[in-house]
C-alpha cells in the first residue's frame, strides 16, 4: 500500500485531545498537512499509512492544544510592575491612565505586544483576545510572532492619544478591521472598555455594528463592588441589568472578570449564552474578589481563562491561571470536586476558542482543525512520579516545561535542553532593545509623577 505524503507527524508519549472530554491517549501521532490535523492515531499506524517530510519524536512529553488567553492587554507588558499593590480604580486613575496618556503610541503598542507574544509563546499560548489602543500595531506584532490575535477594537468616551471620543474610536476600529480582515491570524471584536466608561448610546451603536459586520463584543463587567455601587447610583440598576436592557447579552459577547454576580445575573448570562473570561490572578492582585466559577459552570456558562495585562498580573502564564482557577473554586465553594483538572484545561483551551468564535478551528486536537499545539516535557525529576498526566499539567507543570509550540503546524517556539528557548521569528536582541528603550522612558515618567 502506498503511503500518503504529509508535512509533519508529531509522536507523543501522551495526547490530551480535549475533545472528546476527559480523554488521555498514549503513544499517539498527530498527522499534519497544510497546517491542519488530518489524523490522530497510534504511532505504529501512522508509520504504516503516512510518509512525512518531518517527524518530531516527543518521548516523555504530553501533546495538547495550545492555550487561548481570553482576556489581556498585551502591550501593557511594558508596564509590568509599574504600579503594584493598589486597588483597581486608584491603580487606573492615578497611575495607568496617566502613563498611557503620556506614553502610548503605535510603537509602544507594537513593542509591548511583541514582548507579550514572546512571553505567551514561551508558555504555550498561541491565541490571545486583546483589548487596547492602536490595533494595527498589535496585529503587526502578533503576525511577526506567528500568533493568533482576536483584536478588541477599544471604545471609550474620553479622549486619549489614540482617539478623541466614542465616534472616533469606532471609526478607527472599523478602519483597522477593514485593513486587516484578510489576515489569516487576525479576528476581531468590538471592545467597549467597561460600563463605567461607556454610555448607553455607544453600547447600543456597538451592538448594532457588531451584528452588521458579524464580530463579537468584549468588555469588562462586574469586576469590583465599587463598579456595581456606582452603576446603581447613576443608572438605578446593576451593570448586568443595564447591558441586558440594551440588548448586549448574547453568545458572541465575552465579559471579563464577572467577580460579583448574583443568582439572577448568573441565570441571565447562562440563558443568553454569554462567555466569561475568568482572570483569577488579576482579581486577586487588585483585591477585586474571587469569582464563584463553580456556580457559573454549574449553570452552564462558558468559562475561559485570561491573564489580564501584565500591569495587573505581572505574568502572562496560563499554567498559573489554570491552577488558581481550580484551587480557588474548591476553596470558595467548599467542594474539592468543584473544578477538576480536566475542566481547568478545557477553560484554557476549547472554552476560550468558543468565546472568540474559533472553536471549529482551534482549541482541541481534532481532524480538520488547525495544528495549534503545545508539548510539555514531563520527564524532569521535579515532575515525578506522575500518576495522572492531566492533573500534572494543571497542578504541577510550569511554563518552563513547555518544549515545543506550533501554530498551524509551524514551529514557533522550542526549548532545546539547556536553552532559554528559540523563536522562529522573534530575535532575542529585539526584545532586549525594547525593554531597555521603554524602561528608560517609563522610569522618567514615574520620577516626574
| Residues 114, 108: Cα–Cα separation, whole Å | 10
pLDDT at residue 42, as a whole number = 98
pLDDT at residue 190, as a whole number = 98
pLDDT at residue 445, as a whole number = 66
Tens digit of pLDDT at every position of the chain (449 positions): 789 999 999 999 999 999 999 999 999 999 999 999 999 999 999 999 999 999 999 999 999 999 999 999 999 999 998 888 988 888 888 888 888 888 999 999 999 999 999 999 999 999 999 999 999 999 999 999 999 999 999 999 999 999 999 999 999 999 999 999 999 999 999 999 999 999 999 999 999 999 999 999 999 999 999 999 999 999 999 999 999 999 999 999 999 999 999 999 999 999 999 999 999 999 999 999 999 999 999 999 999 999 999 999 999 999 999 999 999 999 999 999 999 999 999 999 999 999 999 999 999 999 999 999 999 999 988 889 999 999 999 999 999 999 999 999 999 999 987 677 899 999 999 999 999 999 888 877 665 55
| Residues 40, 298: Cα–Cα separation, whole Å | 32
DSSP 3: P
Residue whose cell numbers read 462567555? 275
Are β-strands 216-221 and 253-257 bridged in parallel, bridged antiparallel, or unpaired? parallel
Handedness of CA 10, 366, 280, 228 (dihedral sign): positive
Contact predicate 207/246, CB 8 Å: yes
Contact predicate 61/406, CB 8 Å: no
Q: Is 305 left (phi over 0), alpha (psi -120 to 50) or beta?
A: beta
| Residues 310, 317: Cα–Cα separation, whole Å | 10
Are β-strands 402-407 and 67-72 bridged in parallel, bridged antiparallel, or unpaired? unpaired
pLDDT at residue 101, as a whole number = 87
Q: What is the pTM of this model?
A: 0.97
* Residue 15: strand, helix, or coil: strand
Please name every residue paired with 240 in a beta bridge, in sequence order, or none if there are none.
none
Long-range contacts of 50-54 (CB under 8 A, 24+ apart): 50/3, 50/4, 50/5, 50/6, 50/9, 51/3, 51/4, 51/5, 51/6, 52/5, 52/6, 52/7, 52/8, 52/9, 53/5, 53/6, 53/7, 53/8, 54/7, 54/8, 54/9
Amino acid at each position: 500500500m502506498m503511503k500518503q505524503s504529509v508535512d509533519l507527524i508529531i509522536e507523543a508519549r501522551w495526547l490530551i485531545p480535549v475533545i472528546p472530554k476527559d480523554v488521555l491517549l498514549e503513544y499517539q501521532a498527530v498527522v499534519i498537512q497544510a497546517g491542519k490535523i488530518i489524523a490522530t492515531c497510534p504511532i505504529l499506524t501512522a508509520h504504516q499509512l503516512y510518509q512525512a517530510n518531518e517527524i518530531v519524536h516527543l518521548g516523555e512529553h504530553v501533546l495538547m492544544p495550545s492555550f487561548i488567553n481570553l482576556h489581556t492587554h498585551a502591550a501593557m507588558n511594558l508596564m509590568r510592575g509599574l504600579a503594584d499593590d493598589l486597588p483597581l480604580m486608584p491603580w487606573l486613575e492615578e497611575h495607568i491612565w496617566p502613563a498611557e496618556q503620556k506614553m502610548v503610541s503605535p510603537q509602544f503598542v507594537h513593542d509591548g505586544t511583541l514582548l507579550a507574544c514572546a512571553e505567551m509563546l514561551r508558555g504555550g499560548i498561541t491565541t490571545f483576545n486583546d483589548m487596547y489602543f492602536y490595533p494595527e500595531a498589535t496585529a503587526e506584532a502578533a503576525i511577526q510572532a506567528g500568533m493568533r490575535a482576536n483584536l478588541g477594537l477599544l471604545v471609550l468616551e474620553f479622549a486619549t492619544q489614540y482617539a478623541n471620543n466614542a465616534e472616533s474610536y469606532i471609526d478607527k476600529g472599523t478602519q483597522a478591521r477593514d485593513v486587516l480582515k484578510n489576515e489569516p491570524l487576525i479576528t476581531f471584536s468590538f471592545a467597549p472598555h467597561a460600563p463605567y466608561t461607556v454610555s448607553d448610546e455607544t453600547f447600543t451603536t456597538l451592538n448594532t455594528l457588531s451584528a452588521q459586520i458579524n464580530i463579537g463584543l468584549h468588555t469588562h463587567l462586574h469586576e469590583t463592588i465599587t463598579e456595581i455601587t456606582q452603576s446603581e447610583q447613576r443608572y438605578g440598576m446593576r451593570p448586568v441589568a443595564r447591558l441586558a436592557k440594551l440588548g448586549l447579552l448574547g453568545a458572541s459577547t465575552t465579559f471579563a472578570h464577572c467577580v460579583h454576580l448574583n443568582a439572577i445575573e448568573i441565570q441571565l448570562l447562562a440563558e443568553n449564552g454569554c462567555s466569561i473570561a475568568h482572570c483569577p490572578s488579576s482579581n486577586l492582585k487588585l483585591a477585586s474578589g474571587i469569582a464563584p466559577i463553580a456556580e457559573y459552570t454549574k449553570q452552564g456558562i462558558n468559562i475561559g481563562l485570561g491573564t489580564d495585562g501584565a500591569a495587573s498580573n505581572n505574568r502572562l502564564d496560563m499554567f498559573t491561571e489554570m491552577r488558581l482557577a481550580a484551587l480557588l473554586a474548591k476553596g470558595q465553594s467548599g467542594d474539592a470536586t468543584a473544578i477538576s483538572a480536566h475542566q481547568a484545561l478545557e477553560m484554557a483551551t476549547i472554552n476560550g476558542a468558543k468565546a472568540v468564535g474559533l472553536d471549529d478551528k482551534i482549541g482541541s486536537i481534532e481532524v480538520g482543525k488547525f495544528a495549534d499545539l503545545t508539548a510539555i516535557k514531563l520527564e524532569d525529576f521535579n515532575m515525578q512520579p506522575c500518576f495522572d498526566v492531566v492533573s500534572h499539567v494543571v497542578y504541577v507543570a510550569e511554563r518552563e516545561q513547555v518544549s515545543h509550540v506550533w501554530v498551524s503546524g509551524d514551529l514557533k517556539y522550542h526549548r532545546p535542553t539547556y536553552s532559554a528557548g528559540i523563536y522562529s521569528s522573534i530575535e532575542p536582541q529585539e526584545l532586549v532593545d525594547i525593554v531597555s528603550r521603554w524602561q528608560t522612558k517609563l522610569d522618567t515618567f514615574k520620577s516626574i509623577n
